[in-house]
Amino acid sequence: MRIARVAHPAGVAFVTVEGEGEDLVAREVADHPFGEPTFTGKSWPWADIRPLAPILPSKVICIGRNYADHAREMGVEPPAEPVMFLKPSTSVIGPGAEIKLPRDSNRVDFEGELAAVIGRPCRDVPAAQARSVVLGYTVGNDVTARDQQKSDGQWSRAKSHDTFCPLGPWIDTSVDPADLAISTTLDGDTKQSSRTSFMMNDVYQLIEWASRVMTLLPGDVLLTGTPEGVGPMVAGQTVEVTVEGIGTLSNPATPR
Ligand code: MG
């Protein structure tokens, strides 16, 4: 099942996404998308809605340097344990929305990532049971002001600007995260191309790690790290992140 959040002619709703290709239909879900959905009976052709971020998380937990080749391209050895940081809920935007490049940064990078969406409140989840706390998976872009990340000595400012967490286009509840192709293009040129099987800590290990620190709430998002090939984008360019079995997240970069 694919779950999206959309603006439709009369408001905003969670929907399931039915069909394939050009013939997608958004079918309105009553209330929230956790658990077995109930439907209102309303539906719209995909062309008549605008997709929004598929979830509004209370927090976005991010893992840095989870692909060895990306750690090396940043000039550091792969860490012995996951490196965890947060992005604020206010950084989240949806598919097609503009990534606003801050005036006080000279280098803003894309980082294509697999994003896990939590499905129920949980804490201290063993990796062996982590699958049961996941609602599904979407595509994320951990946009980073690389110059601020280097100059500040910690990552909060660099990772937290408004619009720095594109998510979408929807949450797929059935995909297996173990070995999915993940790629990023900039204006159509491939910049990142890897597989989720190259993660040093897999999604379930990361959930164990994160839930040892903080309670995870329904809708919280875990960004699982980016593979090698990160690089800068400038105003006027469009970045697209694709994860096999989920879809493509496309966002243009514009000046703030
Ligand atoms: Mg990242």
Which pLDDT tens digit goes with each residue over 116-148? 999 999 999 999 999 999 999 999 999 999 999
DSSP secondary structure, 172-227, as one string: ESS--GGG-EEEEEETTEEEEEEEGGGBSS-HHHHHHHHHTTS-B-TT-EEE----
Gap from CA of 100 to ligand 1 centroid (Å): 18
Strands 83-87 and 60-64: antiparallel
Gap from CA of 225 to ligand 1 centroid (Å): 5
Gap from CA of 10 to ligand 1 centroid (Å): 36
Gap from CA of 83 to ligand 1 centroid (Å): 10
* 203 φ/ψ sector (left φ>0, alpha ψ -120 to 50, else beta): alpha
Tokens of 82: 């996951």
Quote the percentage of the chain above a pLDDT of 90.
93
Cα separation, 186 vs 192, whole angstroms: 9
Residue with tokens 């490196």: 83
pLDDT at residue 71 is higher than 90: no
- Is pTM beyond 0.75? Reply is yes
Gap from CA of 124 to ligand 1 centroid (Å): 23
- Please give the radius of gyration of the chain, using alpha carbons only, rounded to the nearest integer: 17
Gap from CA of 62 to ligand 1 centroid (Å): 7
